[in-house]
């Protein structure tokens, strides 16, 4: 039987004969101790973004189902725990049917998770985070999460207060530094954030994302060449940084150096295929060359298929409208006009709902 961390609290409560609140996540596994069955699917999901955020590697997602354990990573892993509890034999290449089944379940699980911030229900997410922070005022993860939610709502002062508290625990946390830099750019307070990032580099010269953050500061400060150099330095140190690749492409584009622009946008897609904007930027360049129209269409169609659809998706529809207008395909033009209007209405509804 598979159990999860969220099952611990209800198990402890039941063992103490304390009623389990309806809001409590997980289910008690006390019955398993007495060899009884539990009415819960024998599955579990876990994920970590620590390797990506701190070392520039990949995030890891794991799905357990009965005796199988599947790990979604650059090199996929599959283990039969009934025969191999120590996970010494990777069966991903030998049991492709089971691997693809579990991979599909991971993707479906991620798609349907009730993640309030991803749904842009920031007020509800903040309300939940504040409840937890009252109970655990020194919880480092909660401090960062609530700060990011305040930032999303442009409540910068509240976000900064929490981030400064978090920095007292770890001055080199790249996620905290990223939020501080983004807030300082919004407030045009560049020097204080530059000092914090440089201080973090003094403590740990190998800190992930530091040169990218400094590049953002220089770009916002009106120093484009310094920014380009810093984004390049970040990519040298961390070739997996998709943001550095994208911003480097943007910097070169604004500087008029078009020879390498598409290279870095394609690099961004390779590193982060779920970020739709670079698909459309490359397509726009290719659409200028009548020979590369099919490739431009392919990229636009890839970009607009990415969920959730957003303001950038409208750019993809706009490009397809232009291309098919030039090709004289009135049926496609009508189709993408309809899609664009439907998406714009949805985006307007989301904005109104947030107010």
Question: If you average pLDDT over every residue of the chain, what do you get?
Answer: 85
- As a whole number of Å, the CA-based R_g of the chain is 24
Between 66 and 249, the more confident residue is: 249
Residue 312 in this model has a pLDDT that exceeds 90: yes
* Overall residue count recorded for the chain in this entry: 355
Question: Is the whole model's pTM more than 0.75, yes or no?
Answer: no
Give the pLDDT band of residue 112 (cuts 50, 70, 90).
very low
pLDDT of residue 256: 86
Of 32-46, 93-107, 281-295, least confident by mean pLDDT is: 32-46
pLDDT of residue 96: 87
Residue 18 per-residue DSSP state: P
The pLDDT tens digits of the residues spanning 75-97 come to 899 999 889 989 999 999 899 88
pLDDT of residue 37: 67
pLDDT of residue 274: 93
User: In Å, how far are 14, 24, 44, 234, 337 from 6, measured between CA atoms?
Assistant: 14, 8, 11, 38, 46
The answer to whether 216 touches 247, Cβ cutoff 8 Å, is: yes
Give the pLDDT band of residue 40 (cuts 50, 70, 90).
low
Closest CA to 293 of 261, 326, 253, 268: 326
pLDDT of residue 25: 59
Q: Residue 41 and residue 78: Cα distance in Å, rounded?
A: 20
Residue 11 in this model has a pLDDT that exceeds 90: no
What torsion, rounded to 10 degrees, do the Cα atoms 10, 14, 18, 20 define? 40
What torsion, rounded to 10 degrees, do the Cα atoms 257, 259, 263, 266 define? 80
Query: What structural domains does the chain harbor?
Result: 1-40 (no CATH), 46-113 (3.30.1120.10), 273-355 (no CATH)
User: In Å, how far are 126, 206, 228, 230 from 173, measured between CA atoms?
Assistant: 22, 12, 23, 19
For 37-64, give the DSSP string: --SS-SEEEEEE-HHHHHHSS--EEEEE
Average pLDDT of span 282-307? 93
Give the pLDDT band of residue 193 (cuts 50, 70, 90).
very high
Give the pLDDT band of residue 113 (cuts 50, 70, 90).
very low
For 111-137, give the DSSP string: HH---TTTTT-HHHHHHHHHHHHHHST
């Amino acid at each position: 039987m598979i159990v999860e961390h969220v099952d611990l609290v209800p198990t402890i409560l039941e063992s103490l004969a304390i009623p389990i609140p309806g809001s409590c996540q997980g289910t008690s596994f006390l019955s398993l101790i007495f060899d009884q069955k539990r009415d819960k699917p024998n599955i579990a999901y876990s994920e970590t973004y620590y390797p990506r955020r701190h070392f520039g590697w990949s995030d890891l997602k794991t799905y357990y189902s009965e005796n199988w354990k599947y790990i979604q990573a650059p090199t996929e892993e599959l283990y039969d725990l009934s025969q191999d509890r120590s996970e010494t034999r990777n069966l991903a290449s030998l049991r492709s049917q089971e691997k693809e089944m579990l991979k599909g379940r991971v993707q479906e699980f991620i798609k349907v998770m009730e993640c309030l911030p991803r749904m842009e229900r920031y007020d509800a997410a903040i309300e939940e985070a504040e409840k937890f922070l009252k109970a655990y005022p020194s919880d480092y993860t909660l401090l960062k999460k609530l700060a990011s939610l305040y930032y999303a709502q442009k409540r910068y002062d509240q976000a900064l207060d929490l981030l400064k508290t978090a920095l007292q625990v770890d001055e080199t946390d790249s996620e905290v530094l990223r939020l501080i830099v983004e807030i300082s750019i919004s407030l045009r307070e560049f020097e204080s954030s530059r000092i914090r990032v440089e201080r973090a580099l003094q403590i740990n010269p190998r800190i992930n994302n530091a040169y990218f953050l400094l590049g953002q500061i220089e770009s916002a400060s009106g120093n484009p060449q310094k920014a380009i150099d810093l984004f390049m330095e970040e990519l040298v140190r961390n070739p997996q940084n998709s943001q550095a690749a994208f911003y480097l492409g943007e910097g070169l584009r604004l500087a008029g150096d078009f020879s390498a622009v598409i290279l870095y946008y394609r690099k961004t897609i390779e590193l982060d295929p779920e970020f739709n904007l670079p698909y459309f930027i490359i397509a726009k360049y290719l659409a200028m060359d009548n020979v590369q129209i099919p490739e431009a269409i392919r990229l636009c169609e890839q970009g607009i298929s990415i969920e959730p659809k957003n303001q950038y998706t409208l750019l993809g529809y706009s490009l397809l409208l232009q291309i098919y207008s030039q090709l004289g395909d009135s049926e496609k033009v009508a189709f993408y006009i309809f899609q664009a209007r439907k998406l714009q209405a949805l985006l307007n509804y989301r904005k109104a709902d947030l107010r």
